[in-house]
Amino acid sequence: MRVGVLTGGGDCPGLNAVIRAVTKSLIHRCGAEVVGFVDGFRGLIENDTQPLGWADASGLLTLGGTILGTSNKANPFQYWREDGADVSDRAAGVYREHGLDALVVIGGDGTMSIAHRLQQKGLRMVGVPKTIDNDLVGTDRTFGFDTAAMIATEAMDRLHTTAQSHHRVMICETMGRYAGWIALYAGVGAGADVVLLPEFPYHLDEVLRVCKAREAGGQRFTIISIAEGAHPEGGEMAVAKTIPGSPDPVRLGGACQVLGAALEAQLESEVRTTILGHVQRGGSPTPFDRVLSTRFGTYAAQLVADGANGVMVARRDGKMTAVPFAEVADKTKLVQADDPLVRAALDVGTSFGTPALTPDLDTMG
C-alpha cells in the first residue's frame, strides 16, 4: 500500500501530531509506504514530495506547525500561480504517477471542499478535520481549537489584571473568521463580561449599558471578548486586507478597534484594544489536542486500511466516526443561540451585546 499525506490551509497546533499518527499507524497496520506532499495541494500539483518513514514521523507529537508545510492558496481548481487556471487534472495525474492507494488530506473547510471535488475525479480521499476556528460541520471538535482557546483565555486572564488595576475597558479580539467559537470559549473561560460573536450582530447601546452598569456598580472595569468577524447590527465586518489569488481573499481584523472607538467616546473608563492574531495558531498543542490529533490520525489510517473513500474523520459524542465529504464541503458550523455554552454564559450574567441574548444586568459581577 502507498498512501499520500498533505496539510492544507492555515497552520494549526496538532498538524504534526496527525502526520505522526497517520504515518506510524499505516506503517504498523499495513506496512504501507507513506509519502508527504509539500505545501499542501501545491505539492500535489507540482509533484513536490518528501518520504515519511517511521523515523521521519518521530518526535512530532509536541511540535507546532507542520513539517510538510502548507498553503491556503494552492487550490488545484483555481491555481493562483497560473492565473486561476484549473490544474486539477495535473494533480490527479501526479496522484496516479505515484501509484497512490489513497490520499489523506488534513485541513479545514476549504481543504475538505477541494478533497471532495478531487474524489469526484476518481481519487481516493480521506480527510482529517483541522482548524483553530472549530467551524467544520460534522464533527464536535477540530484539533487545534483547544490550543487556540487556551491561548486566548490566558491572554484575557492577563488583560484582566491590568483592566482591574487601571479601571479600564479591555477588548480582546480573537480569530475565527465567520464563526465565534474561540471568542465564546475564551470569553467564558476568562470570565469576560461581554462576548461578541459574528453570529449575533451587537447593539452598541447594549455594550455601553453593560460597561456603564459596571462603572456605576463599583467594578470600574470591563472585559470584552470579541471575534474578528463580530460587527454592529446593520454594520459591516472589519476587513484588515485582501489577498489577491487566495480562494478566500478577505482577511478580517480590527473589530476591536471599531468597537473601542465607539465606546471610548461615551464612557468614563479608558478603553484599550488587543488583537491576538497569529499567536493563537502557533506553538505546541495542548494535551487535549495531542490526544485528539492522535485519535484522528490513527482512525484515518484505519479508514484507509478498510478501503474508505470520500469521508472525513469526525468526533461525535466522544467517539470516532466518519462523515461523507458531501456533508462537510462548503459548509460552516456557526454558534447557535441555543448552544449549551451560550445558555450557561447567560446564566452567569455574560452579555452578548444584543437584546435577543442579554442577561439581567443585576446579576453581573
So where are the chain's domains? 2-143+285-327, 148-281+335-363
Distance of CA 274 to the CA centre of its chain: 19
Beta-strand pair 250-252/239-242: antiparallel
The residues near 158 (Cβ < 8 Å, ≥ 6 apart) are: none
Instruction: Please give, one letter per residue, the 3-state secondary structure of the chain.
Output: CEEEEEECCCCCCCHHHHHHHHHHHHHHHHCCEEEEECCCHHHHHHCCEEECCCCCCCCCCCCCCCCCCCCCCCCCCCEHHHCCECCHHHHHHHHHHCCCCEEEEEECHHHHHHHHHHHCCCCCEEEEEECCCCCCCCCCCCECHHHHHHHHHHHHHHHHHHHHHHCEEEEEEECCCCCCHHHHHHHHHCCCCEEECCCCCECHHHHHHHHHHHHHCCCCCEEEEEECCCCECCCCCCEEEECCCCCCCEEECCHHHHHHHHHHCCCCCEEEEEECHHHHHCCCCCHHHHHHHHHHHHHHHHHHHCCCCCEEEEEECCEEEEEEHHHCCCCCCCCCCCCHHHHHHHHCCCECCECCECCCHHHCC
Compute the mean pLDDT over every residue in the chain, rounded to the nearest whole number: 93
What whole-number distance in Å separates Cα of residue 194 and Cα of residue 353?
7
Q: What proportion of the chain, given as a percentage, has pLDDT over 70?
A: 97
Beta-strand pair 125-129/102-107: parallel
What whole-number distance in Å separates Cα of residue 44 and Cα of residue 32?
19
Q: Is the pLDDT of residue 217 over 90?
A: no
What whole-number distance in Å separates Cα of residue 66 and Cα of residue 11?
7
Identify the pLDDT of residue 241.
78
Looking at domain 148-281+335-363, its CATH architecture is 3-Layer(aba) Sandwich (3.40)
Query: What's the fold here for domain 2-143+285-327?
Result: Rossmann fold (3.40.50)
Beta-strand pair 222-227/168-174: parallel
Q: Is the pLDDT of residue 360 over 60?
A: no
Report the DSSP beta bridge partners of residue 171: 224, 273
The yes-or-no answer to whether 2-143+285-327 and 148-281+335-363 have a common fold is yes
The pTM (predicted TM-score) of the whole model is 0.93
Identify the pLDDT of residue 247.
65
Identify the pLDDT of residue 240.
77
Band of the pLDDT at 97, cuts 50, 70, 90? very high
Q: Bigger pLDDT: 365 or 130?
A: 130
Q: How many CA atoms lie within 13 A of 64 on its CB side?
A: 17
Identify the pLDDT of residue 142.
96
Q: What is the pLDDT of residues 131-171, one digit of tens each?
A: 999 999 999 999 999 999 999 999 999 999 999 888 899 99
What whole-number distance in Å separates Cα of residue 179 and Cα of residue 181?
6
Is 133 known to be catalytic?
yes
Q: Is the pLDDT of residue 55 over 70?
A: yes
Instruction: Please give, one letter per residue, the 3-state secondary structure of 59-70.
Output: CCCCCCCCCCCC
CA-wise closest residue to 71 among 42, 49, 107: 42
Report residue 209 as a C-alpha cell: 449599558
Among residues 11, 39, 109, 133, the one annotated as catalytic is 133
Q: What is the pLDDT of residues 293-313, one digit of tens each?
A: 999 999 999 999 999 999 999
